[in-house]
């Protein structure tokens, strides 16, 4: 009996020792760094979610196949968790909460569109989780939110770019606007454009018409616009709506030019709109045609992998991940507590003063917004997005 008790005691000591060893190993370093992606994989703009996910998968493969991301002299595998926000504002906030509470991610990329990024940004800020929106240009996404950042320029910059270009290119003295009143991005940019156009003394905005997100028939608004005889029509809408608007305007006899914004910038616009969109212009974040250096390398790799030229939201997602990776490196170490790690990443983001990405070089202001150039592209007669000019702050 004494021998049995002695052996049992020794076994207990061994088990306790192993437990301490395992606990120590677990605290030494986590095996992965988990980042969430809040994406529109279904709904009105699924191509935006798909393109962003494609870019993310390319980045993930590069890091992990190289042995992981080096932080503080140690390498960690990245883990990306993709969730679908259905292109809806409410779903975007729910996805943010799931990524935070259920997946315990240390940071979030997305949402892209301002309609989802504004509410989701509030959720991330309230829960003290660092977030970067690749594509959102509405100021409210980051305004007074120290945990929320972005990779895109803002609409207060984009609006005047559009106004100046249209006035010069079309010799325009009058303008009309058609926008989605239910979309923070579309409504905000429409209002900024109108005030910028009028403040510059370029002439009157002769029609300022709105529609709903689910509308398919724009004939009433377009009839009012065409009757006002504008020199051009500004449409800061998503590409799926733009295709319908342009086609219906042509059917109603409008022969003048359209000016668009960065939400036009996807190859699916041409698939939906066809020749009706040829010859028009829009402001955006980068032009794939004629790209050089790291931007061309990204474009060529993406096209080889997925069979399409990457749109601006894919390139901006690549840059957003790059910014987040730099912030994680700035943290200097990786810890198991997600709350502590989130704070370290947020501080790492705030410490980034400039970033050279494939969509251009950026300097960041105190709000977490990049100061960077915009590009105006023309839709060629071959349906390609061709660089027209660059406009810098």
Over the stretch 85-96, which tens digit does the pLDDT of each residue have? 999 999 999 999
What per-residue confidence (pLDDT) applies to 31? 78
Over 90: is that where the pLDDT of 12 sits? no
Tell me the average pLDDT across 143-149.
97
Residue 11: the pLDDT is 45
Residue 259 pLDDT greater than 60, yes or no: yes
Using a 10 angstrom Cβ sphere, with 0-12 exposed, 13-18 middle and 19 or more buried, the burial of residue 28 is exposed
Whole-number pLDDT of residue 30: 53
Residue 8: pLDDT over 70: no
Work out whether the CA dihedral 273, 277, 283, 285 comes out positive or negative.
Answer: positive
Main-chain dihedrals φ then ψ at residue 148, nearest 5 degrees: -120, 130
| Mean pLDDT, rounded, for 51-76 | 97
Q: What percent of the chain has pLDDT over 90?
A: 87
Q: Tell me what pLDDT residue 367 has.
A: 87
What are the pLDDT digits (tens) for 99-143? 999 999 999 999 999 999 999 999 999 999 999 999 999 999 999
Encode pLDDT of 283-294 as tens digits: 999 988 888 999
Q: Tell whether the model's pLDDT for residue 154 goes beyond 60.
A: yes
Q: How far apart are CA 183 and CA 109, in angstroms?
A: 20
Q: What is the per-residue pLDDT across 329-386, written as a single tens digit (0 to 9) for each?
A: 999 999 999 999 999 999 999 999 999 999 999 999 988 899 999 999 999 999 999 9
What tens digit of pLDDT does each residue of 295-340 get? 999 999 999 999 999 999 999 999 999 999 999 999 999 999 999 9
What interhelical angle do 312-331 and 46-65 show, nearest 10? Answer: 40
* pLDDT at residue 17 greater than cutoff 50: no
- Would you state the pLDDT for residue 393? 82
- Cα separation, 355 vs 69, in Å, equals 18
Q: What confidence tens digit (pLDDT) does each residue in 160-205 have? A: 999 999 999 999 999 999 999 999 999 999 999 999 999 999 999 9
Distances (CA, A) of 358 to 123, 153, 293, 353, 355: 29, 14, 9, 17, 10
Closest CA to 33 of 84, 2, 77: 77
Residue 135 DSSP class: S
User: Residue 289: what pLDDT?
Assistant: 83
CA distance 149 to 33: 19
Mean per-residue pLDDT, 58-83: 97
Over residues 205-251, the pLDDT tens digits come to 999 999 999 999 999 999 999 999 999 999 999 999 999 999 999 99
Q: Look up residue 126 and give its two tokens.
A: 């309230």
Distance CA 265, CA 51 (A): 12
Q: What are phi and psi of 330, to 5 degrees?
A: -60, -30
pLDDT for position 13: 45
pLDDT at 24 over 90: no
Domains of the chain with CATH codes: 33-153+291-372 (3.40.50.2300), 155-284 (3.40.50.2300)
């Amino acid at each position: 009996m004494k021998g049995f008790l002695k052996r049992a005691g020794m076994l207990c000591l061994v088990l306790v020792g192993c437990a301490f060893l395992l606990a120590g190993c677990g605290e030494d370093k986590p095996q992965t760094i988990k980042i969430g992606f809040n994406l529109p994989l279904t709904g009105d703009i699924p191509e935006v979610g798909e393109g962003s996910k494609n870019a993310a998968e390319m980045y993930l493969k590069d890091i992990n196949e190289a042995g992981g991301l080096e932080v503080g002299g140690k390498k960690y595998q990245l883990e990306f968790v993709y969730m679908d926000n259905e292109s809806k504002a409410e779903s975007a906030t729910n996805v943010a909460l799931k990524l935070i509470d259920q997946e315990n991610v240390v940071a979030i990329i997305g949402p892209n569109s301002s309609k989802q990024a504004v509410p989701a940004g509030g959720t991330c800020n309230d829960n003290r989780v660092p977030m970067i929106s690749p594509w959102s240009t509405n100021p409210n996404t980051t305004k007074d939110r120290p945990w929320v950042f972005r990779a895109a320029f803002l609409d207060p910059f984009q609006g005047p770019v559009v106004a100046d270009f249209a006035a010069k290119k079309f010799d325009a003295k009058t303008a009309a606007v058609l926008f989605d009143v239910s979309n923070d991005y579309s409504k905000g940019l429409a209002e900024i454009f109108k005030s910028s156009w009028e403040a510059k003394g370029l002439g009157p905005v002769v029609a300022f018409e709105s529609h709903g997100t689910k509308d398919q028939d724009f004939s009433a608004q377009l009839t009012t616009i065409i009757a006002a005889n504008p020199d051009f029509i500004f449409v800061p809408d998503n590409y799926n709506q733009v295709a319908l608007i342009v086609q219906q305007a042509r059917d109603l006899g409008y022969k003048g030019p359209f000016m668009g914004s960065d939400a036009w910038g996807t190859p699916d616009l041409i698939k939906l709109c066809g020749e009706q969109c040829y010859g028009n212009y829009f402001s955006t974040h980068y032009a794939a045609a004629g790209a050089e250096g790291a931007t061309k390398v990204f474009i060529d790799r993406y096209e080889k992998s997925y069979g399409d030229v990457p749109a601006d939201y894919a390139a901006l997602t690549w840059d957003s991940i790059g910014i987040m990776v730099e912030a994680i490196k700035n943290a200097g170490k990786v810890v198991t507590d997600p709350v502590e790690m989130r704070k370290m990443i947020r501080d790492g983001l705030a410490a980034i003063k400039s970033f050279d990405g494939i969509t251009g070089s950026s300097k960041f202001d105190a709000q977490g917004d990049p100061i960077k150039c915009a590009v105006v592209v023309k839709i060629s007669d071959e349906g390609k997005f061709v660089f027209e000019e660059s406009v810098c702050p």
